[in-house]
């Protein structure tokens, strides 16, 4: 399993960019059920900085990550993120070496 940890933040002086991001994110989210090997993705807002977020996704393997990375709609969203939406971002990809827990 591959984990994606995507940290990003918005300019607090430009709330319109955040609204644009939400619209693009909703459009992209509609495509996610069709992405083979994408197990899930969730977005969380910081409790200490309301302009900072993290998205965590899990993929079956590197091949699944590559398919998503090459998806044209995803590429378009990435470019919008870099050029328009985000004041900053950081992406981490990690191989999961342990995965256990209790589900309720």
CA distances from residue 2 to 8, 70, 73, 85 in whole angstroms, order as listed: 19, 16, 21, 26
Q: What is the pLDDT of residue 28?
A: 93
pTM above 0.85, yes or no: yes
Asked if 56 and 94 count as a contact pair (C-beta separation under 8 A), the reply is no
Dihedral sign for Cα 78, 55, 38, 95, please.
Answer: positive
Q: What is the pLDDT of residue 103?
A: 86
The single residue listed with the structure tokens 């309301």 is 50
Q: Please name the residues in contact with 25: beta carbons below 8 A apart, sequence gap of 6 or more.
A: 43, 77
Q: What is the pLDDT of residue 104?
A: 78
pLDDT below 70 — which residues of the chain?
none
Q: List the domain boundaries for the chain.
A: 2-95
pLDDT in tens, 1-26: 999 999 999 999 999 999 999 999 99
Architecture label for domain 2-95: 2-Layer Sandwich (3.30)
Integer Cα distance of 80 and 18 in angstroms: 12
């Amino acid at each position: 399993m591959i984990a994606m940890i995507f940290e990003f933040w918005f300019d607090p002086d430009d709330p319109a960019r955040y609204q644009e991001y939400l619209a693009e994110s909703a459009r992209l989210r509609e495509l996610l059920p069709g992405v083979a090997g994408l197990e899930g993705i969730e977005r969380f807002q910081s409790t200490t900085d309301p302009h900072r977020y993290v998205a965590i996704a899990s993929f079956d393997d590197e091949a699944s990550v590559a398919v998503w990375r090459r998806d044209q709609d995803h590429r378009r969203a990435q470019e919008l993120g870099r050029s328009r939406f985000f004041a900053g971002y950081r992406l981490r990809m990690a191989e999961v070496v342990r995965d256990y827990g209790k589900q309720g």
